[in-house]
Amino acid sequence: MGRPVRNIVLFVVLFVAWLLMSGHYTPLLIGLGIASCALATWLADRIGGTDEEGLPLHIMARLPAYLGWLLREIITSNIATGRLILAGRARPVMFMTPATQRSAGGLVTYANSITLTPGTVTIEVEDANGDNPQFLVHALDASFAADVESGEMDRRVTALEGGGGA
């Protein structure tokens, strides 16, 4: 997809988000919204933020399914974390887990997904530029570690990135 198309898509996404969050639809405010979104789009283009990695349009079709799955995982993990803390049975562990993503954006998505899920935090990324990237993860309990080590989230992020999987 060409640069002008990416810029148009970015502008439209920014403007729709601006409209939804603004809640004010007077001509002056809409004009200011258009101007601010146009400026943000121009600045993003000037710094190279609308390239394939900065604006990965190829994942947009798969993103809603991933976000739905991630939201469900966050909710269930919140409940499990609350129970664990209230029962006073937390036994923290640290472990390494492999990452199969090919791009920096994929690695960041996987690391952030681990951290977004209550009870686990990605602490460090090792060998991010090599063939075998791994994350050092802190988990509130061994059961949370087992969830990450099952590889389900890794497979889903790799599939989101376009590398097959679930």
Can you give the pLDDT of all 166 residues of the chain as single tens digits?
678 888 998 999 999 999 999 988 999 999 999 999 999 999 999 998 888 777 777 788 888 999 999 999 999 999 999 999 999 888 999 999 999 998 888 899 999 999 999 999 999 999 867 788 999 999 999 999 999 999 999 999 999 988 655 5
Buried b vs exposed e over 18-35: b needs ≥16 C-beta within 10 Å? beeeeeeeeeeeeeebee
Instruction: For residue 131, report the phi and psi dihedrals to the nearest 5 degrees.
Output: -90, -15
Q: pLDDT value at position 161?
A: 87
Give Cα separations from 41 to 2, 3, 88, 126, 160 (angstroms).
15, 11, 49, 33, 25
d(CA 33, CA 50) in angstroms, rounded, equals: 20
